[in-house]
Amino acid sequence: MGQVYDDFIFIGPTGTRKTLRLLVDTGSTFSWIREESLHELGLNAQLDWKFTTIENVTITRKIGEIVIEYAGVPRTTVVVFALPSDAEVLGLHALEGLCLEVDPTNRRLKKTDAVLALAT
């Protein structure tokens, strides 16, 4: 399929903004951003969370919530306070929150008209 990268704006609690170019990783639930960048934005971790890596190792990282903006659309999303050895990626939670999907043919993001739901 190839890799898809794009630019996203993260907005801290005081309005500080930072643009990051991230790999879009539909296999990651949350977005992973260097804790240094999140601290620069004024974000404090809210709690510890356990994750299982692709090597089947359980690790613990801090998480928080932040505003992410793409194409002028802001949404709140969960971010993981990534260590320097962790990859920085945009995860599925942010992708779906922004109503985006990966276009594998053109290797870019595109708006989706609707997100999946179970309704009666």
**So where are the chain's domains?**
5-111
State the chain's mean pLDDT as an integer.
Answer: 94
Question: Where does the pLDDT of residue 33 fall: very low under 50, low under 70, confident under 90, or very high at 90 and above?
Answer: very high
Question: What is the domain class of 5-111 according to CATH?
Answer: mainly beta
* Cα-Cα end-to-end distance for the chain: 34
Residue 80: closest CA among 95, 98, 65, 70: 65
Contact 70, 8 (CB under 8 A): yes
pLDDT at 28: 94
Buried b (16+ CB within 10 A) or exposed e, 10-34: bbbeeeeeeebebebbeebebbbbe
In this model, does residue 73 exceed pLDDT 60?
yes
